[in-house]
Amino acid sequence: MASTLAPPPAADATDPPNRSVLEARARREIRLFPTPSYWVGAAVLLALYLVLPLVLSDLWANVLVLAGITAIGGLGLNLLTGYAGQASLGTAAFVGIGAFTASYLGRATDVNNGLGQPFVVYLIAAILVGAAVGFLVGLPALRLRGSYLVIVTLGFLFVTTYVLTQWKTVSNGNLGAPMPVGVQIGSIDFTSFDVFGMRDTPLGRNQGLFYLVWIFVAITALLVKNIVRSRPGRALQAVRDRDVAAEIVGVSLFRYKVGAFVVSSAIGAMAGVFYGLYIQYLTPNQQSIGLTLSVQFLAVIIVGGIGTVYGTVVGAVIIGGLPTIINEFSNHIPYLTASTVSAFQGIVFALLLVVTLLLEPWGFAGAVRRFKTRKLRRTMVPGSAGSTGATTG
Amino acid sequence: MNQKSVAKLVGLAVVAALFVVACGGGDKTASNAAKNTTTTKSSNAGKAPKTGPGFDGTTIKLGVITPQSGAIGKIVADDIGTPMTSGNQVYWDSVNANGGVAGKYKVSLETADSQYDATVGLQAYDKIKNDVAAMQQVLGTQVLQAMQPKLKTDQISAGPATLDAEWTNDPNLFPIATSYQLLSINGIDYYIHNGGSKTKNICVLAQDDAYGEAGVQGANYEAQKAGFTLKTVQRYATLTDKTAQIQALKDNSCDAVLFVATLADTKAAIQTAIQLNYTARWIALSPAWLPSFVASSESDASFKTYLEQNMWVSSTGVDWNSPVPGYVQMRAAIAKYAPTQQPDPYFAYGFQQARAMDQILEVAVKNGDLSRAGILNAINGVGTLKFDGALPDFFYGTSVATRKQPTPATIFSIVAGVPQGLKTLSANYTSAAAKTFKPAG
Answer yes or no: do B250 and B280 share one domain: yes
According to the model, what pLDDT value does residue A383 have?
Answer: 54
The alpha carbon of residue B341 is apart from the nearest alpha carbon of chain A, in Å, by 19
Secondary structure string (H, E, C) spanning chain A: CHHHCCCCCCCCCCCCCCHHHHHHHHHHHHCCCCCHHHHHHHHHHHHHHHHHHHHCCHHHHHHHHHHHHHHHHHHHHHHHHHHCCCCCCCHHHHHHHHHHHHHHHHCCCCCCCCCCCCHHHHHHHHHHHHHHHHHHHHHHHCCCCCHHHHHHHHHHHHHHHHHHHHCHHHHCHHHCEECCCCCEECCEECCCECCCCCCCCCECHHHHHHHHHHHHHHHHHHHHHHHHCCHHHHHHHHHHHCHHHHHHCCCCHHHHHHHHHHHHHHHHHHHHHHHHHHHCEECCCHHHHCHHHHHHHHHHHHHHCCCCHHHHHHHHHHHHHHHHHHHHCHHHCCCCCHHHHHHHHHHHHHHHHHHHHHHCCCHHHHHHHHHHHHHHHHHHCCCCCCCCCCCCC
Answer yes or no: do B328 and B383 share one domain: yes
Residue-wise pLDDT for A289-333, tens only, equals 889 899 999 999 999 999 899 999 999 999 988 888 888 888 788
Answer yes or no: do B281 and B145 share one domain: no
E strands, B286-360, in order: 311-315
Residue-wise pLDDT for A141-196, tens only, equals 777 777 888 899 999 999 999 999 999 999 988 888 899 877 888 888 888 776 65
Write the DSSP string, B196-262.
--TTS-EEEEEESSHHHHHHHHHHHHHHHHHT---S-EEEE-TTS--HHHHHHHHHTT-SEEEEE--
Residue-wise pLDDT for A361-393, tens only, equals 888 988 888 888 888 887 776 555 444 433 333
**Residues of chain B neighbouring A207 (CB-CB closer than 8 A):** 28-29
Q: What is the ipTM of this complex?
A: 0.75
| Residues 6 or more apart in contact with residue B223 via CB below 8 angstroms | B188, B202, B229, B230
Answer yes or no: do B55 and B145 share one domain: yes
> Higher confidence at residue B2 or residue B345?
B345
- Which of A44, A62, A175 is the closest to B122 by Cβ? A62
The residue among B126, B154, B172 with the most chain A CBs within 10 A of its CB, best to mutate, is B126
For the beta carbon of residue A69, count every other beta carbon within 10 angstroms.
28
According to the model, what pLDDT value does residue A360 have?
Answer: 86
Half-sphere exposure of B59 (CA within 13 A, CB side): 10
Band the pLDDT of B25: cuts 50, 70, 90.
very low
Residue B369 pLDDT > 50: yes
Tell me which range, B27-41, B205-219, B270-284, is most confidently predicted by mean pLDDT.
B270-284
The alpha carbon of residue A179 is apart from the nearest alpha carbon of chain B, in Å, by 10
The residue among B1, B9, B123 with the most chain A CBs within 10 A of its CB, best to mutate, is B123
Provide the CATH number for the domain around residue B84: 3.40.50.2300
According to the model, what pLDDT value does residue B360 have?
Answer: 97
Answer yes or no: do B104 and B216 share one domain: no
Band the pLDDT of B277: cuts 50, 70, 90.
very high
Does A142 contact chain B (CB < 8 Å)?
no
Answer yes or no: do B213 and B266 share one domain: yes
- Three-point CA angle A316, A320, A322, nearest 5°: 120
| Residues 6 or more apart in contact with residue B321 via CB below 8 angstroms | B327, B419
Answer yes or no: do B248 and B341 share one domain: no
Q: Residues 148 to 187 of B: which have CB under 8 A from any A CB?
A: 148-150, 153
In a domain, B370, yes or no: yes
Does A176 contact chain B (CB < 8 Å)?
yes
Give the separation between CA B59 and CA B16, rounded to whole angstroms.
Answer: 41
Contact: A50, B18; criterion CB under 8 Å: yes
According to the model, what pLDDT value does residue B299 have?
Answer: 76
Write the DSSP string, B371-385.
SHHHHHHHHTT-EEE
Answer yes or no: do B232 and B295 share one domain: yes
Give the separation between CA A359 and CA A361, rounded to whole angstroms.
Answer: 6
Q: Counting every residue, how long is chain B?
A: 441
Does B16 contact chain A (CB < 8 Å)?
yes
According to the model, what pLDDT value does residue A196 have?
Answer: 58
- Give chain B's domain count: 2
In a domain, B3, yes or no: no
In a domain, B232, yes or no: yes
Does A198 contact chain B (CB < 8 Å)?
yes
Give the separation between CA A61 and CA A191, rounded to whole angstroms.
Answer: 13
The alpha carbon of residue B4 is apart from the nearest alpha carbon of chain A, in Å, by 10
Residue B12 pLDDT > 80: no
Provide the residue ranges of all domains of chain A, joining segments of one domain with +. 2-9+38-380
Answer yes or no: do B156 and B185 share one domain: no
Answer yes or no: do B370 and B348 share one domain: yes
CATH code assigned to A2-9+38-380: 1.10.3470
Range of the domain at B340: 48-177+322-400
Q: Which one, of B230, B207, B189, lies nearest residue B312 by Cα?
A: B189
According to the model, what pLDDT value does residue B187 have?
Answer: 97
Answer yes or no: do B248 and B303 share one domain: yes
Q: Is B24 helix (H, G, I), strand (E, B) or coil?
A: coil
Half-sphere exposure of B345 (CA within 13 A, CB side): 27
DSSP run (H or E) holding B426: strand B422-429
| Residues 6 or more apart in contact with residue A215 via CB below 8 angstroms | none
Average pLDDT over residues B61-90: 89
In a domain, B25, yes or no: no
Nearest Cα residue in chain A from B115: A342
Answer yes or no: do B223 and B130 share one domain: no
In a domain, B36, yes or no: no
Q: B369 - beta bridge partners?
A: B50
